[in-house]
Structure 1
Amino acid sequence: MPTRAELIERASKLPLLDAAFLLWIYKFEIDQEENSDLPRAKQVVNNERDFIRVASKIAAQIFFERRNAHFGLTFDRTKTSHPEESAENIRYAIQRAVKFDSECVGFFEYSDNLSNDVDRAIKLASQNNPGFLEATHSLAHGKLIQNMR
């Protein structure tokens, strides 16, 4: 797993759109590294009602992060990797990166061949989201396989 510094360095060598995707797709891992010394709140799930409450809270947090990524830590990280870019350009790139990621997941459908399922999802998402490098498509492919196993 690359560190925050390594990811920002990699992002600095990419076009803005691809940098935004890289830093968005590794958001969870970077957050974990940055907050590794903070105690984590444990969620107690004793019954179905507790499970629904916790799952709803997590889903709401994920939805909020996706809707506001262009104002959050992904913005700060992308600005660090591309200090010459305007805030407007960075926000737009992050919005596009999040949309591409969301569509990769949205187009995914399970069948009997995970690799083919991921190929199909990336292809469809790429058609709707032009402008990303092939290396970004490959990263999206790898992350989608990892997440859908």
Structure 2
Amino acid sequence: MKQTGLSPEDQIAEFIASAAKQPLLDAAFELWRWRYRLDSIEGRPTAEEVRINRTLTPEQISAKYRWDRDHAHEGPMFGYLKRAHPRADDAAIRQAIITAVKFEDATFTHFSWDGDFWACVVRAVARAAAQYPDFLETTYRDARNNVAYYYK
């Protein structure tokens, strides 16, 4: 996505327009993948949140990470997905976000570094896809790239 030179609103609109072209579930995963960039554009975390986060113990950081993922459907992601799919039912939007987060978690859970790196990535996403079969093939491709990026 080309982001340079655009206002924050226009940058977010590009992400949302891209997600709007996909079915709800796939749009949820796409937006979830871009959450850190979207947060950055929106000014999250704030300087105060960064200050507080730096004081957290590893256990507290882990708990915060789990809470953020468990409640992703209650935060900004809901608004992004609602903008991408304005006619979708709120419950369906929440469920799509929950499923997208769980799918991403499954891709990481199934990753095992035992052989060729790319083969490990492909195997991890294939196992997650077996659990979550309702995504488009392009989403599984994006999930493979996502896993490869985080485990590089």
TM-score category of the 2 structures, normalised to the smaller one:
0.7 to 0.9
Instruction: Report the identity percentage.
Output: 33
Q: Which one-letter code corresponds to 1:6 in the other structure?
A: E
Is 2:13 the counterpart of 1:10?
A: no
Q: Tell me if the contact between 2:39 and 2:45 (Cα under 8 Å) persists in the aligned partners.
A: no
The 2-side partners of 1:91 and 1:37 are apart by: 22
Q: Tell me if the contact between 2:73 and 2:97 (Cα under 8 Å) persists in the aligned partners.
A: yes
Q: SS of 2:22's equivalent? A: coil
The 2-side partners of 1:126 and 1:37 are apart by: 31
Question: What is the count of residue pairs matched by the alignment?
Answer: 141
Q: Which one-letter code corresponds to 1:10 in the other structure?
A: S
Q: Specify which of 19, 23, 29 is matched with residue 31 of structure 2.
A: 23
Normalised to the residue count of structure 2, the TM-score between the two structures is: 0.85
Q: Specify which of 72, 82, 85 is matched with residue 85 of structure 2.
A: 82
- For 2:42, the equivalent position in structure 1 comes to 34
- For 1:70, the equivalent position in structure 2 comes to 73
Q: Specify which of 115, 120, 123 is matched with residue 123 of structure 2.
A: 120
Q: Structure 1 residues 56-65 or 129-138, which shifts more?
A: 56-65
Structure 2: which 5+ residue stretches go unaligned? 4-10
The 2-side partners of 1:6 and 1:55 are apart by: 35
The 2-side partners of 1:64 and 1:36 are apart by: 16
The 2-side partners of 1:36 and 1:57 are apart by: 19
Give per-residue Cα distances to partners, 1:95-133, cap 9 Å, x unaligned: 111111010001001123211111000000001101101
- For 2:144, the equivalent position in structure 1 comes to 141
Q: Structure 1 residues 56-65 or 34-43, which shifts more?
A: 34-43
Give per-residue Cα distances to partners, 1:45-89, cap 9 Å, x unaligned: xxxxxxxx5322221111011111111111111001101001011
Root-mean-square deviation (CA), in Å?
1.8
Q: Which one-letter code corresponds to 1:88 in the other structure?
A: A
